[in-house]
Amino acid sequence: MVSFELSDEQKMIQETCSSFAADHMYPAMRDADESGEIPEEIISRGWELGLVGGCIPEEYEGFGEGLNALNMVIALEELAWGDLSMAMHLLSPTVLAFSVLDQGTEEQKKNLLPRYCGEEFKPASCALVEPYYDFCPSAIRTVAERDGDEFVINGGKCLAPLAKESDHVLVFAATNPGMGFAGVDAFVVPVGTKGMEIGEREKNMGVKALATYPITFKDCRVPLAARLGGENGSDFLRLLSRSRLALAALAVGMSRHALEHSRDYARERVAFGEPIGSRQAIAFMIAEMAIEVDATRLLVWEAAWRCDKGMDFAKEAALAKNYAADMAMMVGDRSVQIMGGHGYIRDNPVELWFRNARGFATFEGMVMV
């Protein structure tokens, strides 16, 4: 029966994440963006929210009941309200951990999952995006060829979060090039493996506080066991779709903050004798921003709900992610426009959201629900 009401557990998650975002993340957002550094303390506090370990069952040393897309998108929205870079940094382990939890072999689970259930934040990276203008997850150019009891990986990646800081990188490569999504597999590659070279930290327009790296693979050899799901491999489209839900949820949270900021500014800023929000041009912009933020959230919720229900949700996740990317740019652009000259100044947060927003069209992987 249709309902839009959060469960008590979800309300709890929402409140905890929301106050953490407001008390710790947002106040540090600007400095983190300018310095490119996220204060240790915020991450360790954020880790205490237990979002990762909270999904991992006890048998793997976690304290949760497994993956729950809806709970996670609710959490992600709140965290991105606080700061996108910090949220993506804090949740960098999700792609590897959740992929293993969802589709890893028992051995992979036992070896890897406990690492992400500790007291301490444990980064993990993933390498999906490639440095081509027309990169497409269905046409990945990095290849993993089987050679005896090894896979040999060749290719180039970019936007791999925390690659240098991590022990492992989940690398997506084509085992059957030309087969589209079905031809892609994921490999757990330890940092330092011969043939895998992590380049200099990337400089991006936005998410400046998030450390991302390019990675090149030259005849990088990994054992068969490194393949997610072992012999059977894994369902890449499903993993991709889970990451799209995560990215869309982040876009909703960040955009919601931009909307709220614009709303408050339009209410308080006086020009020509009245608050600028009392003029239809500004007021209608804000109304449309509000409508699109809510619309995107509902698209995300519905796709996540389908995911949790075990229904096919790949199409819904793609629609939601693409819709979210457009929405975020529209909202980010208007949040600057509404502040006029003040929006162009780095004293104010909107230009940061404007830069971050454009990233969602390009981001794939990087975080997962």
Partner 1 sequence: MIDFELSPRIKATKNMIHMFAEQAVRPIARYYDEHEHEKPWDLFKMVHKFMGGGMAGAFGTSGKEEKAEKEGEPKEKKPRETNLAGAVTIEEIFWGDAGIALSFPGPGLGGAAVQASGTPEQKERFLSRFSGDEPVWGAMAITEPEAGSDTANIKTTAVLDGDEWVLNGEKIFVTSGKSALEDSKGFVVVWATVDRKAGRAGIKPFVVEHGTPGMQITKIEDKLGIRCSDTVSISFMDCRIPKDNILGSPEVVDKTKTEGFKKAMATFDATRPLVAAMAIGVGRAALDFIKETLKEKGVEIRYGINPNRMTVLEREIMQMEADLKAARLLTWRAVWMLDNGLRNDLQASMAKAKAGMAVTRITQKAVELMGPLGYSREYLLEKWMRDSKINDIFEGTGQIQLLVTARRILGFTREQLK
Which residues carry out catalysis? Answer: 364
Q: Which is nearer to partner 1, 26 or 135 (CB)?
A: 135
Residue 65: count other Cβ atoms within 10 Å of its Cβ. 12
The answer to whether 215 and 317 have CB atoms below 8 angstroms apart is no
Rounded to whole angstroms, how far apart are CA atoms 29 and 38? 9
Distance between CA 230 and CA 327 in Å, rounded? 38
Select the binding partner of residue 288 from a copy of itself, partner 1, none (C-beta < 5 to 8 A, by kind): partner 1
Rg (CA), the chain: 20
CA gap 32, 207 in Å, rounded: 9
- Contact between 281 and a copy of itself per CB under 8 A: yes
Structure tokens given for 260: 């709220």
Among a copy of itself, partner 1, none, the one that 106 touches (CB under a kind-dependent 5 to 8 A) is none
Tell me the window of 16-24, 187-195, 280-288, 330-338 that interacts with a copy of itself (CB under 8 A). Answer: 280-288
Closest approach, Cβ 241 to partner 1, in A, equals: 8
Q: What is the closest distance, in whole angstroms, from the C-beta atom of residue 152 to partner 1 in the complex?
A: 24
Closer of 2 and 281 to a copy of itself (Cβ): 281
Shortest Å, Cβ 304 to partner 1: 9
Count Cβ atoms below 10 Å from residue 165 Cβ, excluding itself: 17
Whose tokens are 């229900």? That residue is 309
Tell whether residue 3 is a contact of a copy of itself (CB under 8 A). Answer: no
Compute the least distance from the CB of residue 281 to a copy of itself, in Å.
4
Positions in 18-37 near a copy of itself (CB under 8 A): none
From the list a copy of itself, partner 1, none, pick the one residue 194 interacts with, judged by a Cβ distance below 5 to 8 Å according to partner type. Answer: none
Residue in this structure with the two tokens 């497994």, named with its chain if needed: 66
Q: Which does 105 bind (CB under 5 to 8 A by kind): a copy of itself, partner 1, none?
A: none
The encoded tokens of residue 210 equal 């998030």
CB–CB of 24/45 below 8 Å?
yes
The residue from 40, 134, 203, 280 that contacts a copy of itself (CB under 8 A) is 280
Which residues within the stretch 223-262 sit at the binding site for a copy of itself (CB under 8 A)?
none
Asked if 100 and 188 touch (Cβ cutoff 8 Å), the reply is yes
Nearer to a copy of itself among residue 3 and residue 280 (C-beta) = 280
Partner interacting with residue 135 (select from partner 1, a copy of itself, none; CB below 5-8 Å by kind):
partner 1
Number of residues that bind a copy of itself (CB under 8 A): 4
- Asked if 279 touches a copy of itself (CB under 8 A), the answer is yes
How near is the Cβ of 37 to a copy of itself at its closest, in Å? 43
Beta carbon of residue 48, minimum distance to partner 1 (angstroms, whole number): 26
Between residues 63 and 284, which has the closer beta carbon with respect to a copy of itself?
Answer: 284
Residue 204, CA distances (Å) to 98, 208, 212 in order: 26, 6, 9
C-beta of 60: minimal distance to a copy of itself in Å? Answer: 53
CA 242 to chain centre: 10
Closer residue to a copy of itself in complex, CB, 110/279: 279
Hey, which residues between 283 and 342 contact a copy of itself (CB under 8 A)? 284
- One DSSP character per residue, 15-61 reads HHHHHHIIIIIHHHHHHHHHHS---HHHHHHHHTT-TTGGGS-GGGT
Own/partner long-range contacts of 175-183 (Cβ < 8 Å, ≥24 apart): 175/143, 175/144, 175/145, 175/146, 175/151, 175/233, 177/140, 177/143, 180/138, 180/139, 181/137, 181/138, 181/236, 181/237, 181/240, 182/236, 182/237
Q: Which of partner 1, a copy of itself, none does residue 182 bind (CB under 5 to 8 Å by kind)?
A: none
Interface residue list for a copy of itself (CB under 8 A) = 279-281, 284
